[in-house]
Amino acid sequence: MFHQTDIRTLRPGLTPFPTDVFTADQPWLARHLLPLISIDLGVLRPALTGTIATMLCPIEPDEGCIGEETAAHHTEFTGTNWIAFELTADNRMRFLGEEGYFLGDQVADKHVTEMTESYAKAHAYFQSHGRLASYSRYGDGSAGEQAYLDALGGQVSNGNWVETAPIPAAFALTFTAAAYDRHAPEDAERVIISRDGNPFFSVAEVAGYNWCAAGPDAIVMLYEPHSRTVLFSFDWS
């Protein structure tokens, strides 16, 4: 199983700041989600070479969990702290939810500006230096070089995100015996997430503030090949 941590050198198949990420019929997604890095899933599973999914950072919320205040717009694929996408044949991300899931204009302008401007600065730094640097609100305002990804591949992690909010109805989440065994090997499978009985595998994790002014402590990205579903949850440690 491929597993690498603290990704600071780009390997083939990893493309920061990708463009044309979302489907043409959902242009509004660009107002809510920042495309961080596209990942050719062949890096993790050779049979999936050419299948390219994109790590996304939500701009909202400033406090709390995404989707927490928009329950009326939750679907079987989206809920508090959970969002899902279909990966189209041409590797675009199609949101499996409603536009009303996002708070949009209800988010403070100051926060939106801080997120989008810090992302733009990080992009400019990458273009000039070939490395990722964050302009985090937790720093001194200067560029601080960061890992593109905190983890690539490996087992599905067992962090706060698995218990922050119930998983949407289209998916199932179960814990293995290793989740309750403190003597289990570090690389033992502890969490299984599936859709229609088909398991997801771990694609990558990264802190939102590696790329932007703020964000989750870990953006967790999973993929299920049969349905081409990309599932995200967010860890707030």
The whole domain housing 147 covers 3-235
Three-state DSSP class for residue 24: coil
pLDDT at position 78 is: 98
pLDDT at position 186 is: 84
| pLDDT band at residue 187 under the 50/70/90 scheme | confident
pLDDT over 90 for what percent of the chain? 85
- pLDDT per residue as tens digits for the range 100-139: 999 987 878 889 999 999 999 999 999 999 999 999 888 7
- φ, ψ of residue 82 to 5 degrees: the values are -135, 130
Are 221 and 205 within 8 A, CB to CB? Answer: yes
pTM (2 decimals)?
Answer: 0.96
Report the b/e string of 99-120 with b at 16+ CB within 10 A: eebbbeeebeeebbebbeebbe
Domain count, the chain: 1
